[in-house]
Structure 1
Amino acid sequence: METNRPLPKTAALIVNAQSRKGQALFRDARAKLEARGIELVAAHAITDPKTLIPTMRETVKSGVPMIIVGGGDGSLSCTVDEAVKEPVVFALLPLGTANSFARTLGIPLDLDGAIEVIATGRRRRIDLGMIDGDYFANCAALGLSPMIGDSVPHKLKRYLGRVGYLIWAIWCLIRFRSFKVIVTDGETEHRVRATELRIANGRFHGGVELIEEAGVDSGEIVIQAVTGHAKMRLVWNWFASYFRLPSRSDKVVSFSGRQLEVRTIPPLKVSIDGEVLARTPVTARVAERAIEVAVPRAGALPA
């Protein structure tokens, strides 16, 4: 839900300096925000990941009207919990590898473009997803994605970005096996064999538009499964989705609702916006209109 209220001109900046671009761009971002008329009452370059959430929590408590978080999807997902139902605008600088949340909101991926949104954009109240009690911004996943995220070498991710992810994904794919999924919507139990399961609040996962029916203001969570045993079916789904081929929806099934129960055989790790934080069985639900975010002036999320 978009409003006509302008964005605040006073803000705090929190940048995860461990993200791929964070350390290099912190000073640049600070200077450019101030040059565009944003008064920064505080600016934090986080070098110890353990201090990211406490810093966000204390900044929210300070009463600043807007908090700008710079980092990847994992940084955004773990800090967004602190902004839920609080009178603060959550703005973002996409400094990560995939930047799926920024893509969902239509925010430019370059620093200047993202700062322009913060300086001239509008507010929009959006839904968040939840895995058990953990809020997430964009997408959770089971299968190959957690396997990659839980084991990818940090330097490979930091210096090679999406190419590094691809190299590691190929290595993980060799060892990967399909699994059984049971999704329950409260009335009906659905059973499928899958190579990947996506629990989506937004349309992007890994920087690729995969879940077209998901939306951050739909009031529902979407679960999408790439069905079958064959690993190459998953590879083809990603390839076809990346190039937006008509066959991208082949062998894919989706379920949606306000709350869905997910079990797998065997139990599997769950990555939440790129960070492995849970294990099946889990309950996925939508948190409607949970936070207010900064979006471009044009206001329309991708259709």
Structure 2
Amino acid sequence: MSTSPLPRAAALIVNAHSRSGRDMFVDAKAKLEAAGVTLTEAHAVEDPDTLAATVRQAVANGAPMVIVGGGDGTLSGVIDELIGKTCVFAILPLGTANSFARTLELPLDLDGAIAVIANGTPRRVDLGMIDDDYFVNGASIGLPALIGETVPHGLKRYLGRVGYLLWALRCSIRFRAFRLMIDDGTTERRMWSTEVRILNGCYHGGVELSDNADVESGEIVIQAVVGRSRARLAADWYAKFFRLRDRHAHTEEFRGCTFRIETTPRLKISIDGEVLAKTPAIAKIAAQAVEIAVPVTPIAAR
């Protein structure tokens, strides 16, 4: 296993519109420089729509490493700019759930994340794809997409995961089960479902949902909550949140490289917290697609 050092120069780009970004930018800049990381440029980006262009320009400017501060949606929105590049991608987890950082076993505090950037190692990891859109951690169909599409930004910003839970309870009143079809190219499965999770990493919404999803496996995991009962969906989230022994009793998992997913009715797809696609869709893995800054200690076997 390679433990080569990370570049000592980097561009810092923070989503100042994220929950913690505006407050963290100045601290992050000072602490990175104190840790020996030379910042070739630093940007606190107020408009999330310009984040991808800012990362693209930093890569074009020759930054050997780009450090992005934000949540899973921010990371997913800029990751396309690193595909096929030699630039290392480093993360400051400043979001609500920070699922991708949890999957990579990155510290969730600012000092710990900076220590990884200063002393860690680069590692190639997988990305997921919905049609032609890359994502870092997970996509979902069902209630999470409804929540992601309608949750007020202020609720998310100030209450974090608690705000998501409160809004989820509100949305669940009008949510209904759907017919699901999953086709891996050889076998087609049909079932009723209340939620589908398309996982590159084991965490989604800050909760560990799968024991099998792994960013170094070369496969994507499709996890379906089976049946028509909303109570069963709530029980599944409860069991997984508290890591109960029977936490996988209500789900069925499929592993592979490529899946076609259809629903009746057609439903929107939340990709790393942002509603960006709609069924039918192709879910697939992009193996070893990007080089990420991780701790020197190996990612634990799942």
TM bracket, shorter-chain basis: over 0.9
Aligned to 2:139: 140
Aligned to 1:210: 209
Matching residue of 1:109 = 108
Residue deviations 1:105-154 (CA, integer Å, cap 9, x gap): 00011111111110111111001000000000000000000100000000
- How many pairs does the alignment contain? 302
Q: Distance in 2 between matches of 1:301 and 1:61?
A: 34
After superposition, residues 257-296 of structure 1 pair within 5 angstroms as 257-296=256-295
Question: Unaligned stretches of 5+ in structure 2?
Answer: none
Q: What CA distance in whole angstroms lies between the structure 2 residues aligned with 1:271 and 1:199?
A: 10
Aligned partner letter, 2:188:
E
Amino acid aligned to 1:87: T
TM-fit CA distance, 1:212: 1.5
Q: Distance in 1 between matches of 2:254 and 2:97?
A: 25
Q: Give the aligned residue type for 1:221.
A: I
Q: Deviations over 1:27-62 (max 9, x none)?
A: 011101111000000001010111111111111111
* Equivalent residue, structure 1, for 2:253: 254
Is the 1:263–1:282 Cα contact (8 Å) retained in structure 2?
yes
Task: Check if 1:72 corresponds to 2:105.
Answer: no
Against the structure 1 CA distance between its residues 135 and 301, is the aligned structure 2 distance closer, same or farther, given a 3 Å change threshold? farther
What's the secondary structure of 2:173's corresponding residue? helix
Confirm or deny: 8 A CA contact 2:71 2:97 kept in the other structure.
yes
In structure 2, C-alpha distance between the alignment counterparts of 1:264 and 1:300, rounded to whole Å: 35
Looking at structure 1, the residues matched to 250 and 152 of structure 2 have their Cα atoms a distance apart, in angstroms, of: 31
Q: Residues 11 and 40 of structure 1 are in contact (CA less than 8 Å); yes or no, is this contact kept in structure 2?
A: yes
CA shift, 1:302, in A, is: 5.4
For the residues of structure 1 that align with 2:174 and 2:123, how far apart are their CA atoms?
Answer: 42
Paired AA for residue 159 in structure 1:
Y
Are 1:49 and 2:10 matched, yes or no?
Answer: no
Q: Distance in 1 between matches of 2:3 and 2:297?
A: 11
Q: How far apart are the structure 2 equivalents of 1:16 and 1:78?
A: 11
Deviation at 1:301, TM superposition (A): 3.8
Distance 2:154 2:212 in 1: 34
Which amino acid counterpart does residue 280 of structure 1 have in structure 2?
T
Q: SS of the counterpart of 1:246?
A: coil
- Give SS of 2:116's match: helix
* Contact kept in structure 2, 1:104 and 1:301, CA below 8 Å: no
Structure 1 residue 285 displacement after superposition: 0.7
Residue 232 of structure 1: CA displacement? 1.1
Q: Does 1:9 align with 2:8?
A: yes
Deviations 1:257-298 (A, max 9, x none): 111000000000000000000000000111111000011121
The amino acid that maps onto 1:294 is A
Off by >3 Å, runs of 4+ in structure 1 = none
Corresponding position of 1:190: 189
Match of 1:167 in 2: 166
Tell me what 1:123 maps to.
122
Question: In structure 1, what is the Cα distance between the partners aligned to 2:247 and 2:191?
Answer: 18
Secondary structure of the residue aligned to 1:63 is coil
Tell me the alpha carbon deviations over residues 70-114 of structure 1, each in whole angstroms, 9 at most, x when there is no partner.
000000001111101210110000000000000000001111111
Partner Cα distance (2:182, 2:201) in 1: 19
Aligned residue number for residue 244 of structure 1: 243
Match of 1:179 in 2: 178
Show the counterpart of 2:157.
Answer: 158
Query: Share of identical aligned residues, percent?
Result: 58
* CA displacement at 1:251 relative to structure 2: 1.9
One-letter amino acid matched to 2:290: I
Higher alpha-carbon deviation: 276-285 or 211-220: 211-220
TM-score (norm 1): 0.98
| Residue type of the alignment partner of 1:101 | F
Question: Where do 5+ consecutive residues of structure 1 fail to align?
Answer: none
CA RMSD of aligned residues (A): 0.8
Residue identity opposite 1:98 in structure 2: A
Aligned amino acid, residue 79 of structure 2: V
Deviation at 1:201? 0.5
Measure, in 2, the Cα distance between the counterparts of 1:299 and 1:91: 16
